[in-house]
Amino acid sequence: MLAALAPCTATASVVAPLAGPPGSLPQAPWVFAGLPDQTIPATRFVLERQDGAMVLRVEAAASYGNLVHALKDAPAGRLSWRWRVDTALTAADLRNREGDDVALKVCALFDMSRAAVPFVERQLLLLAESRTGASLPTATVCYAWDPSWPEGTVVPNAYSRRVRYITLGTKVQSWQAVRRDLAADFLRAFGGETTRVPKVLAIALGADADNTRGASLGFIADLEFTPGPER
């Protein structure tokens, strides 16, 4: 499951650029978020210049971690970015916990009503929150770089059905431009539980290789989020 949300420090309803000095993490309101009491290595995020543009280098090595940008009740709209994976995770398999790793992912965390969460999953969510002492998102859609699936496949996370992957296939070492309708994708992933599209709480970027003990290298650039109309 994605780590608990960092305190909401963003005041705008659009994501801040992935900007800062080369060799550093992106500037606030982007913050690193790991697992509670994480003991495994942290996925490495660092800014670097490529062809005159600033890009985010995301490197996993038997590690876990996300960069999170909190939002203030942003209506679901358009999310776009460019990404490239140079080193893929050959042992990744989203169908089981042993293979539940992603070389690169872009996620939207939604403020879905708890009343809409199925009873058993709601109890598991409450249990997880009691153990961590933090509030957890009720619904997360993650776009996963995983060319082993047909593009657009919805795959529930092996650890928690509160996270649903939408797989996007592409070639290794090739930049791909992505533009997604968050409202439509939320309904594809969670439409069996609710017909109402909730507000977006945060955008998260990440890569993890803690289950397969593998290594991956990817890049993200030109990330933009345009909120939609009030619903």
Is 206 a member of any domain? yes
Is 23 a member of any domain? no
CATH of the domain at 65: 2.60.120
Statement: residue 227 has pLDDT above 70: yes
Is 155 a member of any domain? yes
Is 214 a member of any domain? yes
Q: Higher model confidence: residue 209 or residue 5?
A: 209
Q: In whole angstroms, how far apart are CA 188 and each of 36, 56, 100, 140, 154?
A: 30, 29, 21, 12, 8
Q: Higher model confidence: residue 104 or residue 231?
A: 104
Q: In whole angstroms, how far apart are CA 125 and each of 81, 96, 159, 161, 195?
A: 30, 20, 12, 10, 21
How far is residue 167's CA from residue 141's CA, in Å, rounded to a whole number? 10
Share of the chain above pLDDT 90, in %: 83
Contact of 81 with 180, CB cutoff 8 Å: no
Query: pLDDT value at position 72?
Result: 87
pTM: 0.91
Query: pLDDT value at position 231?
Result: 66
Is 7 a member of any domain? no
Query: What is the span of the domain harbouring residue 67?
Result: 30-226
Mean pLDDT of all residues in the chain?
Answer: 91
Query: pLDDT value at position 84?
Result: 97
Q: Higher model confidence: residue 64 or residue 2?
A: 64
Is 96 a member of any domain? yes
Give yes or no for a cis peptide into 29 (omega within 30° of 0). Answer: yes
How many residues in the chain?
231
Is 189 a member of any domain? yes
Contact of 112 with 194, CB cutoff 8 Å: yes
Contact of 178 with 81, CB cutoff 8 Å: yes
pLDDT in tens, 48-64: 999 999 999 999 999 99
Is 182 a member of any domain? yes
Confidence grade of residue 18 (pLDDT, cut at 50, 70, 90): very high
Instruction: Report the number of distinct structural domains present in the chain.
Output: 1
Residue 219's Cβ-side half-sphere holds a number of Cα atoms within 13 Å equal to 18
Confidence grade of residue 134 (pLDDT, cut at 50, 70, 90): confident
pLDDT in tens, 151-192: 999 999 999 999 999 999 888 999 999 999 999 999 999 999
Contact of 86 with 212, CB cutoff 8 Å: no
Q: Which helix (H) or strand (E) holds 127?
A: helix 119-132
pLDDT in tens, 83-117: 999 999 999 999 999 999 999 999 999 999 999 99
How far is residue 161's CA from residue 151's CA, in Å, rounded to a whole number? 20
**CB count in 10 Å sphere of residue 118:** 12
Q: Which two tokens stand for residue 163?
A: 């996270």
